[in-house]
């Protein structure tokens, strides 16, 4: 026998049970831009011959909303934004809506990143962080020395 969720109204009032199930379901909040779990933006990481590039999808934010920190080879990317929409008529507030957006992502950096040269840009809803690689000494080919 398997365990099933307790639904006291399921047999008597199926419509009431369905309403509460939909209200507390995360999908209900998704359409409103809210979530019970919170969200973090999607990230793409690319490696080129000279750098690593971190692309963070964060539309609707502004450059000043971001905070990027580097400590102990861990790159922390965070953002926080508060939006207040208020409708007033003759000094009476009819409706006030608050929206808060925040996230934090952390990345462990490899040892070959030049931490002093890290830079970031924000264009068209994508935060791009460039992590240049340290210059590595080019291995010289083995040279045979003849004895004269």
Scored b (16 or more CB within 10 A) or e, 4-42 reads eeeeeeeeeeeeeeeeeeeeeeeeeeeeeeeeeeeeebe
Residue 126's beta-bridge partner residues? 57, 123
Give the tens place of pLDDT for each residue, 76-100.
Answer: 999 998 877 767 677 776 666 677 7
- Whether the model clears a pTM of 0.95, i.e. scores above it, the answer is no
Q: Which residues are CB-neighbours of 35 under 8 A, at least 6 positions away?
A: 26, 29
pLDDT of residue 101: 81
Give the β-pairing of 119-123 and 126-132.
antiparallel
pLDDT tens across the length of the chain (148 residues) = 333 344 555 555 566 555 555 554 544 444 444 444 457 889 999 999 999 999 999 998 899 999 999 998 899 999 998 877 767 677 776 666 677 788 999 999 988 999 999 999 999 999 999 999 998 755 667 777 778 6
The domains found in the chain, sorted by start residue, are: 41-132 (2.60.40.790)
pLDDT of residue 52: 94
- Give SS3 for 81: strand
CB of 75 within 8 A of CB of 109? Answer: yes
pLDDT of residue 26: 47
> How many Å apart are CA 53 and CA 39, to the nearest integer?
22
């Amino acid at each position: 026998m398997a365990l099933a969720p307790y639904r006291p109204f399921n047999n008597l009032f199926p419509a009431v049970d369905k309403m509460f199930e939909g209200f507390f379901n995360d999908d209900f909040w998704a359409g409103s831009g809210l979530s019970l779990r919170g969200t973090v933006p999607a990230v793409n990481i690319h490696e080129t011959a000279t750098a690593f590039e971190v692309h963070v999808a964060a539309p609707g934010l502004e450059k000043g909303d971001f905070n990027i920190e580097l400590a102990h080879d861990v790159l922390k990317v965070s953002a926080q934004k508060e939006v207040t929409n208020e409708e007033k008529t003759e000094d009476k507030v009819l409706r006030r809506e608050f929206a808060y957006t925040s996230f934090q992502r952390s990345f462990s950096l490899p040892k070959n990143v030049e931490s002093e040269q890290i830079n970031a840009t924000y264009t068209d809803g994508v935060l791009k962080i460039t992590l240049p690689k340290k210059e590595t000494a080019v291995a010289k080919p083995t040279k045979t020395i003849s004895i004269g």
